[in-house]
């Protein structure tokens, strides 16, 4: 992998990780266009490791919220009064919502890194989940605020987050849609997407760093990998700030049109042979 390719992938990761357009799908497409081999274990591990940059951006951006959630959860374990506060319910929702994807991700790790890396899965995920996003926006009441988030919300959104293990679905697209369907307002649903994404992405990045560091070292190199992490951090931070401002005033349907167009182009490229599935 050339240095410019690591920079391109870092930009793609940072730009798409938190937007409801599927970072995995875009990374897979970018790898295919640059002839890197989407099935290469080193490349697969690299794309997971550079998520660390995006995670760091989210942690810094939401640092005060993270501290508030962690402190409330720890305090609530020993204080009945704390367990009556909205912060405690939010913290429990985040903890419960983080469990499903950890379990499913470990159980199906091999399939996720091999079979699901096909561009056919990416095209299907982009197109099919777009329908769910449209429905979520159409039926959303947006009556509930962050102070009304309950444990059940976290668990349901966390279960839906597992669907995003299929490339093209988009983790943020899945969780924001689930939040809207639960009656949360768009900003709260988006913030929940970030809160649930931080532990999920952190676990995935650490797991890949431990299990795939040799593949990355031999295929990509530690220097280029570090560059990819830094680039993804800078771009992701800007992306987070923009997305939160955007959803406070607009629906997520604009992302649907992009997803459908990309999915259709991808499918056409696969059918005509302009693109290879793996």
pLDDT tens-digit series, residues 250-276: 999 999 999 999 999 999 999 998 888
Q: Looking at the 3D structure of the chain, how many domains does it have?
A: 1
Residue at 164 is within a domain: yes
51 part of a folded domain: yes
pLDDT of residue 88: 94
Tokens standing for 149? 């988030």
Q: Which of 138, 183, 134, 131 is nearest to 157 (CA)?
A: 183
pLDDT digits (tens, 9 = 90+) for 175-208: 999 999 999 999 999 999 999 989 888 877 777 6
**Of the candidates 228, 275, 246, the residue with the CA atom closest to the CA atom of residue 23:** 228
Give the pLDDT confidence of 129-148 residue by residue, as tens digits.
999 999 999 999 999 999 99
- What is the average per-residue pLDDT within 97-123? 87
User: Could you tell me the CA-to-CA distances from 188 to 98, 117, 178, 236 in Å, in that order?
Assistant: 17, 31, 11, 19
Task: Look at residue 42 in the predicted model and tell me its pLDDT.
Answer: 72
pLDDT at 115: 81
Residue 277 lies in a domain: no
> Residue 210 has which token pair?
């431990």
Asked if residue 35 is part of any domain, the answer here is yes
Burial class (CB in 10 A: 0-12, 13-18, 19+), 147: exposed
Cβ proximity of 170 and 136 under 8 Å: no
Residue 215: pLDDT above 70? no
Q: Is residue 61 part of a domain?
A: yes
Q: Give CA angle at 261 (260, 262), nearest 5°.
A: 90
Block residue for tokens 């952190």: 202
The Cβ of residue 196 has, within 10 Å, a number of other Cβ atoms equal to 29
Residue 39 lies in a domain: yes
Percent of residues in the chain assigned helix, strand, coil, to nearest 5: 80, 0, 20
pLDDT, one tens digit per residue, over 32-83 is: 888 886 566 677 778 878 888 999 999 999 999 999 999 999 999 999 999 9
Provide φ and ψ at 21, rounded to 5°: -125, 0
226-231 mean pLDDT: 91
Distance of CA 171 to the CA centre of its chain: 4
Name the pLDDT band for 245 (thresholds 50, 70, 90): very high
Residue 136 resides in a domain: yes
Structural domain boundaries enclosing 168:
3-272
Residue 278 belongs to a domain: no
């Amino acid at each position: 992998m050339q240095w410019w390719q690591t920079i391109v992938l870092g930009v793609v990761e940072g730009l798409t990780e938190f937007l409801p357009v599927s970072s995995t799908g875009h990374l897979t497409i970018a790898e295919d266009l640059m002839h890197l081999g989407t099935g290469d274990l080193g490349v697969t591990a690299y794309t997971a490791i550079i998520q660390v940059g995006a995670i760091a951006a989210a942690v810094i951006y939401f640092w005060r919220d993270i501290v508030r959630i962690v402190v409330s959860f720890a305090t609530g374990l020993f204080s009945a009064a704390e367990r009556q506060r909205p912060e405690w319910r939010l913290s429990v929702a985040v903890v419960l919502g983080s469990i499903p994807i950890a379990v499913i991700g470990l159980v199906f790790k091999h399939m996720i890194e091999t079979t699901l890396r096909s561009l056919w899965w990416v095209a299907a995920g982009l197109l099919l989940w777009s329908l769910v996003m449209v429905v979520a926006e159409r039926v959303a009441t947006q009556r509930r605020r962050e102070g009304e988030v309950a444990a059940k919300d976290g668990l349901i959104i966390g279960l839906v987050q597992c669907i995003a293990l299929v490339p093209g679905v988009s983790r943020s697209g899945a969780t924001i849609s689930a939040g809207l369907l639960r009656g949360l307002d768009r900003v709260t649903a988006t913030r929940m997407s970030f809160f649930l994404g931080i532990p999920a992405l952190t676990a995935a990045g650490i797991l890949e760093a431990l299990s795939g560091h040799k593949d990355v070292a031999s295929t990509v190199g530690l220097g280029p990998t570090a560059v990819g992490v830094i680039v993804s951090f800078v771009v992701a931070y800007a992306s987070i700030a923009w997305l939160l401002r955007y959803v406070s005033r607009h629906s997520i349907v604009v992302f649907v049109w992009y997803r459908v167009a990309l999915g259709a182009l991808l499918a056409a490229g696969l059918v005509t042979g302009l693109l290879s599935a793996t």
